[in-house]
Structure 1
């Protein structure tokens, strides 16, 4: 005697009882015998390569249809969601409110037991159909099914059973109506009776093409057998004026009165989002045209624009307290954190001279507020751009996680980070703008001293500093980089340098120094071939 075990990976079972509208908010519980048989037949067509139902499958289905199954049901709660479904009326698109009611099953399991004997070939087929069953009810009602061996089963715990004649039960049970199949032999007998009535007007008449056509039309609403009934869809039997599928019948079942509970909605506790060291965003245009992305010369204004947008999102119309983004404490005073708050670094990872990614990293970590602000920002702009620039999170985590990027974009990241063991020599990727006036006299204010002071403030050792001439290879593209912030304080001098830093010991990146170093200026990469 076959028993089917059903588990719902999504924790939900979606199905509306026969004869009810979806917006009545009812759940068919348990799944009706008719629904189960139709699901098995459908699965045969989709997974077993049937063009027609084979003889073995017909025998299996008719045996299952000849009896009413019993169920072992878990306790569930009924719930629903509401949404507006679009539909077309004439030339206009309108919406209508739809209730999606479902049984919240969680990790509960349903057992369905048919009290009939099936042979070994039918058992194998039943097992194959069960393993390939993907959903039961509506398509979002995912299911995993398997055939349970008889030896491992006790039917005493089954709590939803067919009603028997003159049966009475106490208040612990309630009676419900389910749709089931008429036994195959009963259907054939009934159909023959109907055919005698339907075809009576055609008897004794001369056979003509019109007579044959009218007779076929009269026979069409009566499928040949039960298997044919199970394959007819709703539009077919409604089109032939059936009030329910041919070959089906209403049957009464007893189920526990508490089998469906309705509880007050519970507010889920938001999960704490762990801090991350960096987030990487990808930039693209709606058309996919990379040449429409901002030029690398606009590194500073793009970083400023992005920073203003995420700080606004972090505040959400209120005062902002997100020190890793603002660089300020609760009293709006600048952090003395050794530049541990966020650096916003626009990057050109595919080396086409257009900004295609933005790296946001903070030594102090990006908290929940910062992450939400960054991940929910969907677009930015650029001066002279045709339209929006779309943003999407490409990754987040530790800085070292960036090393796992694909080779086609990971090369620039590797040079930005340095090798696994670090690098001795670093060269400018964007111009270094001194944070103070350059003076010929004074040990603290010459160019080299300012660079080493910036390194020291970030916990890095001193380096030997040399200037790279502007006429050197690849330096000409940096000549036109914007070096003055639009909204922040201007630099003491609007002058940029390309530098080479040589350390006695290896150091790791990213290294970003000088004026507007938190907005992409003064960024260095490891020199090719180092170490």
Structure 2
């Protein structure tokens, strides 16, 4: 048996059935297996490109071979109305658009089961990874927490009926879209292929006859054959790749490679239910981390972490303002109170930390970390950011932000196929600078310390150690270890004669001075243009992230675990 659980943290599921217009106010309930399998394929493309196509095809072919059963939790139906602008010449008009959704409790899952199917160990691992990486299901507003369960303890009483079979008492029939099983798809493909060939050949004959040309010997060209072959899918995976807008333009009343089956649904499926949302005081611990993949034709290098961090912050503030009912930006993103002044807890708001895991030293993902945690509206702002991305008039390359997940730092230590385990969120005693530390205070040197290079260096090390300990005391989870941590200043790197401290980016040694060291806009306290790197050794393992100094909320002063778990 295969059992999939789908929970919706935002308590809404947005999806319109195939063949229905959004303003009809019809919602897809239960969610169609066609939509679920397309979502798995989308996650595979975006987050697991290294998984062979053959493995993905085997998985979706298996899931398409049998119609699943469902358990639907108590739900009700709601909608919002938006007046969207339509530009017609110089006169701007607006049209009313209905956004209909299913409202349900975030703790009650939709259960999808395939009672007759079994997964191999490889297929089970792949499906687990795909489901855990799925961030939304339906439209982008429908956040989802999907997982593969070992067993099903809930009765799945929503199932398909054979053609002509009446619905049981108390149930109604609902048309639901499913992929066609591979055997039926192969037969349909062969028949439809011959029909398209005959139709195209007849068109060519009619065209030649109309022009008075001979019709003997007319046959399809290689180009005609290729167009016909590409018009219809030959496999389940190919059918799931079809673009909805292109299918509608081509006149398909149903996606090729799909089938509509009658499912039963209780008449009271949308009866009002009691909202069992728990108050904040009794809910589980607030999430403190949100992680995004960074996708763009030209991704910025880690040396530009200040610029990208600043862009992400501005975008999050804009998204937060759109989400919140009071039309104000969340203080976790702005770092300012209602009076416009900086928070007394100077490091409790969001840190935007960029990291590079590729061979070119370019930013692969961004982690948003806030010690005070994120509330429900902040999580909706993350969803909005993932939908809109980063758009800038100054940068011709738009950046897409793909939400990987939201949780605690320990949730990102295991890693996945789309991202390795995060060393900035690891647990370790040994930490080393990943981006340069820029002091926020001027260092004081006595006149006697300036006499020669040896005394100047000793004084520099002493003053920097004081600054690092002071910085650590400003972080609640590190303050108790500030006086005991061992701080080693990184100055010389004896590799290939390099004499500047720095870090490896894409296999190439990059000095700290190659990094952008000041923000082009905004404030921030900094001493001078000098920058440094350190190795920190704590008396006990600590969990990241650790970001210190000027620009630490935008990615400067970031440390990486040197030895994970030690």
TM-score normalised by structure 2 residue count: 0.45
Q: Which has the larger radius of gyration?
A: 1
